[in-house]
Structure 1
Amino acid sequence: MYFTDRGIEELVERRGAESVTLEWLGEQLRAFVDLNPDFETPIERFAVFLARGEDDED
């Protein structure tokens, strides 16, 4: 199990029943980077990964 799995499991447990929009997610990611600028590159990579989906291997 990766360390990040615990955070993902907590997210699902606490908010798994909620519906969110991509707009909301984008706002949360921006707020996170504002508070944690060292994570700008990983968050950008994650956002691109989500945006491109499984269809784009770049």
Structure 2
Amino acid sequence: MYFTDRGIEELEKRRGDEEVTLAWLSERLQEFTDIHPEFETAVERFATWLARLDDPDD
């Protein structure tokens, strides 16, 4: 198990029944990078990956 799996599992356990919009998620990611700029590259890559999930060219 990767260390990050624990955070993902906690997220699912605590908030797994909630529904959110992508706009809400985008706002939270922006807030996170404002507070933790050292993670900007990782968040940017994650957001780009999510945005392109169904793009056959990527």
State the TM-score bracket (shorter-chain normalisation): over 0.9
Aligned to 1:6: 6
Q: Which runs of 5+ in 1 are unaligned?
A: none
Cα distance change of structure 1 residues 57 and 3 upon mapping to structure 2, 3 Å threshold: farther
Give the aligned residue type for 1:31: E
- Percent identity between the aligned chains? 64
TM-score by length of structure 2 reads: 0.93
State how many pairs are aligned: 58
Q: Does residue 27 of the first structure (1) align with residue 27 of the second (2)?
A: yes
Q: Counterpart amino acid of 1:44? A: E
List, as ranges, runs of 4+ consecutive aligned residues in structure 1 with deviation greater than 3 Å. Answer: 54-58
Could you tell me which residue of structure 1 aligns to residue 46 of structure 2?
46
After superposition, the Cα gap between the structure-2 partners of 1:46 and 1:56, relative to the gap in structure 1 and judged at 3 Å, is: farther
TM-score, scaled to structure 1: 0.93
Gaps spanning 5+ residues in structure 2: where?
none
The residue matched to 1:19 in structure 2 has which SS? Answer: coil
How many angstroms apart in 2 are the aligned matches of 1:9 and 1:57? Answer: 31
